[in-house]
Structure 1
Amino acid sequence: MKNNKFSIIILTALLTLSMMLSGCTFINNLEVKMNLKNEQFEYIKQNKIDKIVIQNVRDSGFRFMVTNSNAIDDIYKLLSEGSEVSKKSSLDPDYIFEVCIGDEVKEKYQYVVGASERDTGNFYNEYKAFSVSKNLENTIMQNLSVIRKPRDFQYIYYQSILKVIERKKDVLYNDNKVGIDIGTDSDCLKYIFSADLEEFKKNLNKTLPNVHMVNNNYGDFDTVIKVKNRGYNSTTFKTLITVENKKDKSFESYYIVAEYNYKDWDIKVSEPDKMPQDW
């Protein structure tokens, strides 16, 4: 009698486990069919990957390897939750991902941080494109304890440039072709992303027509506005912005000091060529 009861208990447990497993499979299949999940990155979950190498496109020195299994699993989860789409983003990529087995690169992808274009993929290779959460960039930064992104970077960086352009707007309007050069701002390149740049360009054109980003075409512009960060911490951000006018051969330097005061930034722009005492 006892043996029969024990057998019934074992059978019930096995049936329950079977139903749970089949239920998980059903839910997984449903998520895949509804394009809420994809199975293209299952090889990462299967522990066949030794490392993921991530390279910042704008800053060649910002290259690192993710080898921790928990960190790799975090990346897998975000990628598997991405929806497969028919086309990739039109924006320039911010990162290149190399998924490696040993020293062999199994897959290579390009990633656009925070891209929000409708029905376009911000994580893609030449074969497939996926729309993945912007939390992927947060996951990258969380695994880089040595990197400290400045507070409100996308606001304070671009707003400082706009304030100088507003100051010089009347002069720059005179049939000048104006270029903004951020390509040598080495301390900040790792934080500059295509989606933020696109928004900045829209704000630029509201302030000043015929202004473009310098991209290896310095000689095409009459006036070049160059940006170079001079240090930052959690409450202070310093930037040197120079304005070179090739037509009248003038050159001016503007010293920007921004201080964070209770949920807002106070941005101060110096007079031309006048360095503040606390600089």
Structure 2
Amino acid sequence: MLRALKKYILSSFLIMFVLGFSGCTIIENVEKKLGLKNDYFEYLNSSDIEQISIQSTRDTGFKFIVTETSAIRDIYNILSRAKISENKSSLDPDYKFEFDLGDEVKEFYYVVGTEDGNFYNDGNTFSVSKRLDEVIIKNLSFIRKPRDFDYIYYQSILEILQQVSKTANINDYKVGVNISGDIDCLKYVFSTDIISFLDKAKQIIPNVELVKNNEADFDMVITVKNRGYDSSNFKTLITVKNKKENTEDKYYVSAVNEFKEWNIEVLESKPKGW
């Protein structure tokens, strides 16, 4: 037993010694055999890759290009360790990736904040580590999301839903929340956040959904249009159009961050400074 243990330890040290002096190639081959790496994204580790473009699917004007070798290498290191998945994420994609190989462009869609079938195109689906989010944020350092954005953005809408819930026969209405025109904010809106918001919204109005190019399907449409924000101040105009009653109401939502808490005020008449 002792002899077998010594043999195992000696073999382990021998393997470590060989790997340490054989460069990355052998290590990578071992990782591939163990299923820790895939071969699909090897083109990102070659001279064929010219650039990677990453574009928001909600704000088509928001697109950035990755050309720096180290950044491309970071993306390759993450994608090469992605697992092949049989199931594509049911969430709408947040970003579109384009890998420019000169004479060919490979496209993939990516869902932020989840790892189950979150990186895919028509022929391939992978489960990619959330570390890819960090790479995107790193490249987005010039346009950081304001502090508490997720909370104040969705909470402002929830405040209006509370008002709307007082509408007579609201349970007979099909209610839609439309954020598609909120251009200044769409680059910070991700599918996982929307799902969380809708869970809370349905506790107020059970039959509420997000408008997705189907505004005509709803009896009441709540349209959100931001009027300015930073880490201390937030202003949003929210319009409620009741098609059954043929009415339209505007709500002016102002929020100020004081002592690390947001104080939200909802007005029905346009305040000064708007």
Task: Please tell me the TM-score bracket, short chain as reference.
Answer: 0.7 to 0.9
Deviation at 1:145, TM superposition (A): 4.2
1:88-167 equivalent positions in 2, closer than 5 A: 88-102=88-102, 104-116=103-115, 120-167=116-163
Residue of structure 2 equivalent to 1:61? 61
Residue of structure 2 equivalent to 1:214? 211
The letter for the 1-side match of 2:89 is S
Deviation at 1:19, TM superposition (A): 4.6
Deviation at 1:59, TM superposition (A): 1.2
CA contact (8 A) 1:98 1:105 kept: no
The letter for the 1-side match of 2:172 is D
Unaligned runs of 5+ in 1: 1-15
Q: Distance in 1 between matches of 2:35 and 2:263?
A: 45
> Per the alignment, do residues 197 and 19 of structure 1 end up closer, same or farther by CA in structure 2, a change over 3 Å counting?
closer
Deviation at 1:128, TM superposition (A): 2.2
Q: Identify which range, 40-49 or 225-234, moves more after superposition.
A: 40-49
Per the normalisation by structure 2, the TM-score is 0.84
Q: Identify which range, 225-234 or 17-26, moves more after superposition.
A: 17-26
Residue of structure 2 equivalent to 1:5? none
CA contact (8 A) 1:50 1:101 kept: yes
The letter for the 2-side match of 1:180 is V
Q: Render the CA deviation track for 1:50-107: whole Å, top value 9, x for unaligned.
A: 10112211111112221111211121122123222222111111111111123x3342
Q: Distance in 1 between matches of 2:19 and 2:154?
A: 55
Matched, 1:82 2:77: no
Unaligned runs of 5+ in 2: 1-15
Residue of structure 2 equivalent to 1:193? 190
Secondary structure at the counterpart of residue 270 of structure 2: coil
The letter for the 2-side match of 1:241 is I
Residue of structure 1 equivalent to 2:243? 246
Q: 2:201 aligns with which of 201, 204, 211?
A: 204
Q: Percent identity?
A: 50
CA contact (8 A) 1:123 1:132 kept: yes
> Per the alignment, do residues 25 and 146 of structure 1 end up closer, same or farther by CA in structure 2, a change over 3 Å counting?
closer
Secondary structure at the counterpart of residue 265 of structure 1: strand
Deviation at 1:227, TM superposition (A): 0.1
Q: Distance in 1 between matches of 2:21 and 2:163?
A: 65
> Per the alignment, do residues 220 and 36 of structure 1 end up closer, same or farther by CA in structure 2, a change over 3 Å counting?
same
Per the normalisation by structure 1, the TM-score is 0.83
- Following TM superposition, where does structure 1 have runs of at least 4 consecutive aligned residues deviating by more than 4 angstroms? 16-19, 22-27
The count of residues paired between Structure 1 and Structure 2 equals: 259
Q: Distance in 1 between matches of 2:81 and 2:263?
A: 40
Q: Distance in 2 between matches of 1:140 and 1:146?
A: 11
The letter for the 2-side match of 1:108 is E
Q: Identify which range, 133-142 or 68-77, moves more after superposition.
A: 133-142
